[in-house]
Structure formats: C-alpha cells, structure tokens
Structure 1
Amino acid sequence: MQRVTNCTVIKDGKVLLLQKPSRGWWVAPGGKMETGETIKESAIRECREETGFTVKNPELTGVYTMVIEEDGKVISEWMLFTFKGTDYSGTMLEHSPEGELKWWDTDKTNNLPMAEGDRKLMQHSLHGEGIMFGTFYYSPSYELLRSRIDSDPTVKS
C-alpha cells in the first residue's frame, strides 16, 4: 500500500493549490512518502519541493484510505495523510515541477475542478476542526463511487 501526504498552505484567507497538468485538477501540494520518513517529514518535504515553501509545524487534519475499484475488485489502494500549515518560510517557486501554483480565496475552492474526495478533505482542512478519517472509493477514471467519513472534533493533532 502506497503512503502519500499533502499539505494545504493557508495565509490571509487564501490557500495555495497546485493544478496538475494531467487532468487540470487542483490539489494540495504533496506526494509519495520516502522510506524512513514520518508523515510530517514527508508533508514538509513534498510541500517544499512543489512550492518552495517550508511549512513549520503543520497540523494533521485527516487520515484517509483511497481505493480504486474496477468491476467490484480493488486494483489500487493508498493511505493519504493530510496536513494544513499557516506558518512557513521561503519563496514560492515561479514554476513548480508538478504544475501551476496559484493562491485561491478559501471560499472559491469548493467550485474548482478536483476529485470529489479531495474536495471534501480540503474543505475540512480549510474549515473543520480536529482530524477527519475516511475512505474514498473511486473508479479507474476517478469518479467517486462512494465514501465513508468519520470526523471527530475531539481528536487533536
């Protein structure tokens, strides 16, 4: 099972998102964990590599299982650990190796093109409290088939 992290960077009512060229979908910067990394180290490294910003003390906002199904069979599965960061240093890259970077008003993100599961976890990172847990089931073309969400505001990262 692949392990993936991402980090929603928030500043002054705006969120920094990355538009992936393959689908044109907007995502929080992130990617695959490297051997021996903690989830926090991975989120910080991935954010720095994709944006130029080093996030300080990112807060864990979600732990998710992403499942790709075809004809009722699981063909891929990974774990996603989502963070948010409001304190960072560095200079934003002019050209990210992963796509276009853009600051968006947080209230405009719900209508951006993105995977439906990503929309739910991003809204939680932007507006929710505590850690959200969930499983998202997708078709191979990333159509959301179903999901299960468990948000526990008493759990703090």
Structure 2
Amino acid sequence: MQRVTNCILTKNDQVLMLKKPSRGWWVAPGGKMELRESIVESVTREFKEETGISINHPQLRGIFTIVIEDQGKVINEWMMFTFQATNGSGTMLPQSPEGELAWKSVEEISQLPMAVGDYQIFEHVLHKNGLIYGTFTYNGNLDLLSYRLEAEGEPIKQFKV
C-alpha cells in the first residue's frame, strides 16, 4: 500500500493549489512517502519540492484510504495524510515540476476541477476544526463510487452510487 502526504497551505483567505497536467485537476501539493520517512518529514519535503516553499508546523487534518476498484475488485489502494499549514517561508517556484501553481481564494476552491472526494476534504480543512478520516472508493476512470467520512463531533457522512 502506497502512502502519500499533502498539505493545504492557507494564507489570507487564499490556498496554494497545484494543477496537475494529466487531468487538469487542482490538488493540494504533496506526494509519495519515502522509506523510513515520517508523515511530517514527507509532507515538508514534498511540499518544498513541488512549490519551493518550506511549510512551518503543518498540522494533521485528515487520514484517508483511497481505493480504486474495477467491477468490485480492488486494483489499487493507498493511504493519504492531509495536513494544513498557515505559514511558510521561501520563494514559490515559477513552475512546479508537477504542474501549475496558483493561489486560489477559499471561495473559488469548490468551483475548481478536482477529484470529487477532494471537495469533501477541502470543505472540512478550510471551514471546520479537528481531524477527519475516512475512505473514498473510485473506479478506474476516477469516478467516485462511494465514501464514508468521520469527523470529530460530526455525524458520519456516507455516499454510495
């Protein structure tokens, strides 16, 4: 099972986003964990590699299992650890090796093209407190099939096609 980390950097009602060229979807910068790397080491390293910015004191905000299935059979699965930071240092890269970087307003996030499950993650991180965790299941075309989310102090949210 692959492990990935990402970080939602917020500053003055803006979010630093990365547009991946393969699908044209916007994501929080991040990537794969390396062997023997902690999740904090991973998110700090990945964020700097993709943006040029060193995040300070990232806070864990979400833990997710992402499942890709074909006809009910799991073909891929990974764990994603989502952080939030409100402070960073350094100069943003003019172009990320992973795609286009841009500051987007918090209000704009829900209108950007992205994986359907990511809207749920951004909604929680940007507008609520505490940790959220759950599972997202997609088909091979990355159409959302189901999710189950649990957040501290909130009822469980579920969706299934």
Category of TM-score, reference length = shorter chain: over 0.9
Separation of aligned partners in 2, 1:40 and 1:123: 22
Counterpart of 2:147, as a letter, is: S
CA distance, structure 2, for counterparts of residue 116 and residue 128 of structure 1: 19
**For structure 1, which segment, 60-69 or 119-128, has the greater mean C-alpha deviation from structure 2 after superposition?**
119-128
TM-score between both structures, scaled by the size of structure 1? 0.96
Check 1:106–1:43 CA distance in 2 against 1; reply closer, same or farther (3 A cut). Answer: same
1:66-145 alignment runs, 5 A limit: 66-145=66-145
**Where has structure 1 moved over 2 Å in runs of 4 or more?**
none
Residues 19-38 of structure 1, C-alpha deviation per residue, up to 9 Å, x if partnerless? 00000000000000001111
Query: What TM-score results when the alignment is normalised by the length of structure 2?
Result: 0.94
Deviation for aligned residue 1:153? 4.7
* 2:158 match: none
1:26 has 2:21 as partner: no
Structure 2 residue aligned with 1:59: 59
Unaligned runs of 5+ in 1: none
- Structure 2, unaligned runs of 5 or more: 155-161
Q: Hey, what's the Cα distance between the residues in 2 that align with 1:42 and 1:120?
A: 23
Cα RMSD (Å) of the superposition? 1.0
Q: % of aligned pairs identical?
A: 54
- Per-residue CA shift, 1:59-108, capped at 9, x if unaligned? 10000000001011000000000001101100000010000000000011
The offset of 1:124, in angstroms, is 1.2
Q: How many residues align?
A: 154
> Secondary structure, in 3 states, of the residue corresponding to 1:96?
coil
Q: What one-letter code is carried by the residue in structure 2 that aligns with 1:54?
A: S
